């Protein structure tokens, strides 16, 4: 019954979702080229709030649990498991005070209204997953630029979406590059639950009635020694709270 209901809701969702992306593609360009960085940043934050509202149409809810306050002028490396394409909007919205950049695949840099423009123009380091050596170099270089401005970044160490509640093993190479480039940053683990349910049937119909939860874990300093041990513990912390 729930799947049956999701068909008409999915049609409405995609109409509003597509309109929002196309409309904000123009808004972004005006903000970026004419008004300036602050306006462009605001447009991105508002865009992602509206994308969450589009998902609310399907009866999906988002819960954000954060036991601390993000500090001003503090760099963060946010490390999260990755269950769905739809992990991104809530991260941008709920972490808007830090306005983190993202590590993403280069394929996202073209063809998607709003999203591709934003990623190409400073909101991400777009890597070629077929060229791991170059990808690690690009991640470190991007991290060094963020360190100069106390910027923050989100990385999904699984490397791709798990598409289920079962996480993939973390690939720690890119995360190690960020730690080398941003030694003053704080590491923050994020556990994402149930976003995979949004695409449980594929992309049509959309999953409906899911409660997506993002849980922030206590920040820790970037390690100077025993880096692998720290990162392995961080992985355990994140994955221990994933619902089976």
CA atoms within 13 A on the CB side of 17: 19
- Residue 244: predicted pLDDT: 62
pLDDT band for 5, please (50, 70, 90 cuts): confident
Q: What is the pLDDT of residue 160?
A: 84
For the chain, percent of residues with pLDDT exceeding 90: 88
- Report the alpha-carbon angle 115-116-122, nearest 5: 95
Whether the Cβ atoms of residue 147 and residue 185 lie closer than 8 Å to each other: yes
Predicted confidence at residue 38, as pLDDT, reads 95
User: For residue 48, is pLDDT > 70?
Assistant: yes
Q: Is 244 exposed, middle or buried (0-12, 13-18, 19+ CB in 10 A)?
A: exposed
Q: Return d(Cα 183, Cα 189) in angstroms, integer.
A: 16
Delimit the domains of the chain by residue range: 60-240
Work out the average pLDDT over 43-68.
97
Name 211's bridge partners: 61
User: What 3-state class would DSSP assign to 57?
Assistant: coil
Interatomic CA distance for residues 219 and 184, integer angstroms: 12
Residue with the larger pLDDT of the pair 44 and 165: 44
Best CA proximity match to 243, nearest among 164, 131, 182:
164
Pairing assessment for the beta strands 153-155 and 124-127 based on DSSP bridges: unpaired
pLDDT at 1 over 70: no
**What confidence score (pLDDT) does residue 165 get?**
85
3-class DSSP state of 106: helix
Rounded to whole angstroms, the Cα distance separating 228 from 189 reads 15
Q: Give the β-pairing of 186-193 and 220-221.
A: antiparallel
105 and 127 in contact (C-beta within 8 Å)?
yes
Local structure of residue 207 (DSSP, 8 states): P
**Bridge partners of 61?**
211
**Per-residue model confidence as pLDDT tens digits over 87-136:** 999 999 999 999 999 999 999 999 999 999 999 998 899 999 899 999 99
pTM above 0.85, yes or no: yes
Structure confidence at residue 131 (pLDDT)? 95
Mean pLDDT of 52-81: 96
Top-level CATH class of 60-240?
alpha beta
Q: What is the mean pLDDT of residues 133-150?
A: 96
Planar angle of CA 151, 212, 90, nearest 5 degrees:
30
Give the model confidence (pLDDT) of 148-183 as tens digits: 999 999 999 998 888 888 999 999 999 999 999 999
Average pLDDT, stretch 140-147? Answer: 97
- Structure tokens given for 237: 């912390």
Is there a contact between 60 and 83 (Cβ–Cβ < 8 Å)?
Answer: no
Contact yes or no for 141/135 (Cβ under 8 A): no
Q: Which of 97, 100, 221 has the alpha carbon at shortest distance from 156?
A: 100
**pLDDT score of 189:** 98
Q: What are phi and psi for residue 173, nearest 5 degrees? A: -60, -50
Q: Of 13-27, 28-42, 156-170, 188-202, which range is least confident?
A: 156-170
User: pLDDT over 70 for what percent of the chain?
Assistant: 99
Provide the pLDDT for residue 202.
86
In the predicted model, what is the mean pLDDT of the chain? 94
The answer to whether the CB of 76 falls within 8 A of the CB of 185 is yes
């Amino acid at each position: 019954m729930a799947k049956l209901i999701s068909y008409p809701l999915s049609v409405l969702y995609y109409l509003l979702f597509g309109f929002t992306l196309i409309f904000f593609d123009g808004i972004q360009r005006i903000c970026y080229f004419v008004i300036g960085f602050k306006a462009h940043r605001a447009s991105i934050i508002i865009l992602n709030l509206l994308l969450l509202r589009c998902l609310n149409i399907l009866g999906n809810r988002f819960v954000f649990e954060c036991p601390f306050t993000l500090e001003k002028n503090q760099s963060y490396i946010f490390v999260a498991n990755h269950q769905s394409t739809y992990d991104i909007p809530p991260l941008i919205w709920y972490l808007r005070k830090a306005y983190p950049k993202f590590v993403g695949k280069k394929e996202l840099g073209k063809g998607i209204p709003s999203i591709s423009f934003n990623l190409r123009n400073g909101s991400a380091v777009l890597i070629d997953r077929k060229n791991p050596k170059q990808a690690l170099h690009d991640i470190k270089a991007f991290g060094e630029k963020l360190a100069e401005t106390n910027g923050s970044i989100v990385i999904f160490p699984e490397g791709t979406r798990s598409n289920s509640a079962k996480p993939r093993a973390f690939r720690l190479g890119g995360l190690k590059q960020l730690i080398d480039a941003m030694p003053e940053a704080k590491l923050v683990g994020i556990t994402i639950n149930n976003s995979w349910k949004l695409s449980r049937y594929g992309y049509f119909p959309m999953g409906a009635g899911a409660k997506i939860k993002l849980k922030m874990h206590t920040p820790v300093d970037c390690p100077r020694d025993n880096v692998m041990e720290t990162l392995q513990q961080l992985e355990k912390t994140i994955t221990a709270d994933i619902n089976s």
